[in-house]
Amino acid sequence: MSNQTIIETYKLAKDVYSKYGIDTDKVLESLQNLSISLHCWQADDVGGFETKASSIGGGIQVTGNYPGKANTVEEMRADLEKVLSLLPGNHKLNLHAIYGEFNGEMVDRDQIEVKHFQGWIDWAKRNNVGIDFNATCFSHPKAEDGFTLSSKDEEVRKFWIEHVKRCREISNEIGKQLGQPCIHNTWIPDGSKDMCVDRLGHRTLLKASLDEIFETEYDSKYMKDAVESKLFGIGSESMVVGSYDFYLGYAIKNNKLICLDNGHFHPTEQVGDKISSVLQFVDEILLHMTRGVRWDSDHVVTLNDESTLIAQEVVRAGALDKTNVGLDFFDASINRVGAYVTGCRAARKAFLLALLEPTDLIKAHEEKGENFERMFLLEQAKSLPWGAVWDYYCLQQQTALDSEIIDVVQDYEKSHLLHRGEVLV
């Protein structure tokens, strides 16, 4: 499609939306202000750059051995730069602590420092992105029995407390250097495969660990804390210490962000439905947008009912400025750059659709009890010409159109990904 056709089609779409009271130019401004945090771990199957790499643990699993995994920090940065070039809008990079540059040194998790992440901070400046950060409390010998911050082994618990404290300190420094808040998210794998009778004991220990970790207060200009719950993991099917009840209570009481990962709930629960509830009690939320498929919480995001409802509920609540959008998926069975591009573009499309929704009109019907009319308009909104608005946005942002993505990703696969070492699973 020529640029001229895209512009003309956009004008027609703009006209259609204006009849529903929607100003598409304003919508695109809001969409541009939405920053999406791109998780680094899709590039290398949650491997990281520690010298003594442990295999992935903590109840998460990556399946597949598609060629082209990023094996070095340079390869990962090249992939991320390629991905960013194919995404419209603003972004952050979401780093895990295992992605430091340790230069062949064995640096254990309780020893990490800002200097190990300086290369990423400089890279972020060059690429005009912010950074978010995560303690890595899994894939480590001291996490092998399934407990970290809630461990009854005091030495193990102290080790992980020190790790998370250091991660918060690093996050604060990242925020200072980049001049924007770095969200530090705490997710731990702790849980039990089978019936655990001392749930109270483990949860009491987790609370005590978090209280100790959060004793140091940082300026929210530079760093903010989030806590992430989970329903179950592989090997923690019967009890997860950091459950939703636990962390929602903790976040409300201690003024932390609650991280809502939509792969971490029962499949019939809707994270979209939780947003207007939790926002009554917490100032901000962190989203981990993902796609749960049966037992797996981490398939690539698509524009499905779930991602759509999440975005709609954020926008309907007027809560874009209270919502930090992150992605969380890892699929090693397909081209990883393609996975990023699909997932991130789908997440942004969900927000575009939500911003284009004629919510005031629909609400007016709802308030009159006209529920057929509400349902019909919601259906109609699905086929309004939002694709024309998306294409125009991509053009405006000087990034590839959907129709160009497959070729670009295939070219990169041929020129870069296929020349990398074999992925051994």
Ligand X SMILES: C[C@H](O)[C@H](O)[C@@H](O)C(=O)CO
Q: Which residues are catalytic?
A: 187, 228, 230, 261, 264, 288, 296, 298, 328
At its nearest, how many Å lie between Mn ion and the CB of residue 230?
8
Residue nearest to ligand X (CB): 187
Q: How far apart are CA 374 and CA 377, in angstroms?
A: 5
Of the two residues 146 and 358, which places its CB atom closer to ligand X in the complex?
146
Closer Cβ to ligand X, 134 or 243, answer by number: 134
Q: Cα(first)–Cα(last) distance of the chain, in Å?
A: 42
Q: Which is nearer to ligand X, 269 or 404 (CB)?
A: 269
Output the smallest distance, CB 271 to Mn ion, in A.
Answer: 11
Amino acid occupying residue 369: G
**Beta-carbon contacts of residue 254 (< 8 Å; ≥ 6 apart):** 210, 214
Is 190 marked as a binding-site residue? no
Query: Which of Mn ion, ligand X, none is residue 134 near (CB under 5 to 8 Å by kind)?
Result: ligand X
- Distance between CA atoms of residues 69 and 423, nearest Å: 7
253 closest CA partner among 263, 241, 245, 262? 245
Nearer Cβ to Mn ion (31/131): 131
Tell whether 264 is in a known binding site.
Answer: yes
Query: For the stretch 365-395, what's the b/e string if a residue is b when 16 or more beta carbons lie within 10 angstroms of its beta carbon?
Result: beeeeeeeebeebeeebeebbbebbbbbbbb
With CB under 5 A as the contact rule, the residue among 75, 261, 313, 391 that binds Mn ion is 261
Q: Using CB under 5 A, count the residues that bind Mn ion.
A: 3
Q: To the nearest whole angstrom, how small is the minimum distance from the Cβ of residue 10 to ligand X?
A: 37
Is 402 known as a binding-site position?
Answer: no
Comparing CB distances to Mn ion, the nearer of 82 and 91 is 91
> Closest distance between ligand X and the C-beta of residue 183, in Å?
12
Contact residues for ligand X, defined by CB under 6 A: 41, 46, 60, 134, 187, 228, 230, 261, 288, 297, 328
CA–CA separation, 352 and 108 (whole Å):
42
CA distance 60 to 332: 13
386 token code pair: 């939002």
Tell me the β-bridge partners of 185.
134, 226
Interatomic CA distance for residues 193 and 5, integer angstroms? 57
State yes or no: residue 75 binds Mn ion (CB under 5 A).
no
CA torsion sign for 54, 60, 64, 69 is negative
Interface pattern 277-306 for Mn ion (x via CB under 5 A): -----------x------------------
| Residues flagged as binding site for Mn(2+) | 264, 296, 298
Contact footprint for Mn ion (CB under 5 A): 261, 288, 328
Residues placed in the known binding site = 264, 296, 298
